[in-house]
Amino acid sequence: MTAGNIFFGQGSLCSCVYDYFTDENRVLKKDPQQDYHLEYAMENSTHTILAFSRELHTCDTNDKSITESTVRIIWAYHHKDMGEAGQNYHGSNRGSKSLRLLNPEKAEISSASLPYFDLTNKDVPIPDKDTTYWCQMFKIPVRHEKHHVTKVEPLIQKGHENLVHHILLYQCSSNLNDSVLDYGHECYHPNMPDSFLMCETVIFAWAIGGEGFTYPPHVGLSIGTAGDPQFVLMEVHYDNPSYIEGLIDNSGLRLIYTPVLRQYDAGVIEAGLWVSLFHNIPPGMPEFVSEGHCTLECLEEALGAERPGGIHVFAVLLHAHLAGRAIRMRHFRNGEEQKLLAYDDEFDFNFQEFQYLKEERTILPGDNLITECHYSTVDRIRMTWGGLSTRNEMCLSYLLYYPRINLTRCASIPDIMEQLQFIGVKEIYRPVRTWPFIIKSPKQYKNLSFMDAMNKFKWSRSEGLSYNELVLKLPVNVRCSKTDNAEWSIQGMTALPPEIERPYKTEPVICSSSSCLCCSILLTLLFVVHVTARTIGNMRPFV
């Protein structure tokens, strides 16, 4: 059931907002409980502006609660007002947009006079296919003197606002050289340059409908010194569902920086499941949960050595691929669960950007962080594997924090042999000489790779549920990495996942309209309408 359809009607006596919902047959019905309230309205020859309010939690079964998760807004309009006969069909005047309505706003600091540099694609030919991921390596131009990046803005070529779907910027190994700058290439392609695989940590993310990212006033992304990013990889997702031919794009990013240094350098930690084939999801599952562990052992060693007083997280990017449905970043201290660090229970792969935290969160030595990812594979008939392709999966959180320490990855890998035992594998060929490795027994899997064996197994939903319960309890291999693939000593050790409550219990919803003033949110929608000369005469301002 979809809830919260807003209809605006202008009559001779009043301007009104109506609360509607749709049933399973997509039939619009007026909600008996009217929860949306018109605050302001204005119309002229080109715009209709509505401001309306609603409680975050209405206790109306026909409404969806408004949370910090992604909200999908669907809009439509007709140039004629709704009459007694009901709404007019919108035709092609419709669209949708994913938003995070409760993402805290950050105060803008004027950057008009600050220097900047642009990272933009150069005449990239967009294939006439639905989806293209294009990767281009760049060298950071500011060298030999420390500066702080204070803001990153999208630069979308005019007319390509619906073509450029998202942009990710990755920090690359400093062991690269200028030879990697020669050309761009399609990402995740068998022939893509090996250097692209040396760029793994996301330092910026933008998605269609999103804005630029502004660092807090006391924090900046350091550039210009030997310990800072020298090379970055920009990944652009082009969405061309109409298979338009001959498109050329020059979109990218603008990084605004300042020589006036801020108090702290920002760092990025990749937490969650190490991207590998050891992360796998059976087919036909309406829900399957994976967990990636930033273990207390890794945080104890890294933070204990470099920042015993802890680090402070101010933004989080939650990342999965097309099967992802929900992601939570859970935080534990001394065995006690803290408030969720970040979450998105309505995850949209095509809307990925850093979430500002309402309050900075301190992470201490010995804490546990768990990235919990929920997937749906009901439309798939083969295993889904961890990997780089969008048809593969990931379960990651990127933490923006300060002050920067030498910890870039805090992740885990589940034990593969116990996973294989679930489907009846008894022995593999040793020593392992091929990848994926080959199974020796039993007979039905003999000489098959472990991927082929997992696909051969006859998965049912009950088998998938049992497998899920097993995987969540398996020992994990700790990944605890420094810059340029150096490792903390804890790397490679085996650890048991902490005993935690599953599933996560959400906080009870308080939906009494009198509970608090802060439970209201004011939404403002701006509709830009192309109006013909014939209809202009019928329009007038109103309040």
Q: Would you state the pLDDT for residue 479? A: 95
Supply the pLDDT for residue 104: 67
**Which is catalytic among the residues 319, 321, 331, 374?**
319
Contact indicator for 376, 286 with CB cutoff of 8 Å: yes
Sorting pLDDT into bands at 50, 70 and 90, what band is 519? Answer: very low
Instruction: Using only the alpha carbons of the chain, give its radius of gyration.
Output: 25
Give yes or no: 243 in active site.
no
At residue 89 the predicted structure's pLDDT band, cuts being 50, 70 and 90, is confident
Looking at residue 209, its pLDDT comes to 65
pLDDT band at 109 (very low <50, low <70, confident <90, very high): low
Could you report the per-residue pLDDT of 404-434, keeping only the tens digit for each? 999 999 999 998 999 999 999 999 999 988 8
Rounded Cα distance, 174 and 345, in Å: 36
CB atoms within 10 A of CB 308: 9
Residue 304, SS3 per DSSP? helix
User: Distance between CA 205 and CA 200 in Å, rounded?
Assistant: 13
Q: Among 40, 100, 52, which Cα is nearest to 73's?
A: 100
Q: Is 37 in the active site?
A: no
The pLDDT value recorded for residue 397 is 94
Q: Percent of the chain beyond pLDDT 70?
A: 88
CA 49 to chain centre: 30
- 8 A C-beta contact, residue 117 and residue 169: no
DSSP 8-state assignment for residue 284 = T
> pLDDT-based confidence at 340, cuts 50/70/90?
very high
Q: What values do phi and psi take at 346, rounded to 5?
A: -130, 50
Q: Which amino acid is at 528?
A: V
pLDDT of 525 above 50: no
- pLDDT tens column, 177-196: 888 886 799 998 888 888 88
CA distance 416 to 408: 24
- Read out DSSP for 28-49? EEE-SS---EEEEEEE-SSEEE
d(CA 386, CA 179): 30
User: What's the Cα-to-Cα distance from 290 to each of 332, 350, 373, 434, 538, rounded to whole Å?
Assistant: 17, 20, 5, 27, 57
485-499 pLDDT, tens digit per residue, is 789 999 999 999 998
pLDDT at 143 over 50: yes
Strand (E) or helix (H) holding 440 = strand 439-441
Q: 361-376, pLDDT tens digit by residue?
A: 999 999 999 999 999 9
Question: How many CB atoms sit inside 10 A of residue 195's CB?
Answer: 20
Helical spans, DSSP H, in 71-185 = none
Cβ atoms of residues 332 and 367 within 8 Å: yes
The identity of residue 515, as a single letter, is S
Nearest CA-CA partner of 20 in 2, 38, 40: 2
Decide if 352 contacts 319 (C-beta within 8 A): yes
pLDDT of 526 above 60: no
The one-letter amino acid at 233: L
Q: How confident is the model at residue 244 (pLDDT cuts 50, 70, 90)?
A: very high
pLDDT level of residue 484 (50, 70, 90 thresholds): confident
Residue bearing the bigger pLDDT, 46 or 337? 337
Angle (CA) 32-38-43 rounded to 5° is: 130
Question: 391 or 106: whose pLDDT is higher?
Answer: 391
State the residue for tokens 């201490």. Answer: 364
Res 350 pLDDT > 50: yes
Question: Which of 101-115, 152-166, 359-373 reaches the highest mean pLDDT?
Answer: 359-373
Higher pLDDT, 299 or 36: 299
* Catalytic entry in 20, 36, 57, 133: 133
Q: Above 90 in pLDDT, residue 79?
A: no
Residue with tokens 């990889």: 233
Find the helix or strand (DSSP H, E) in which 463 lies: helix 461-473
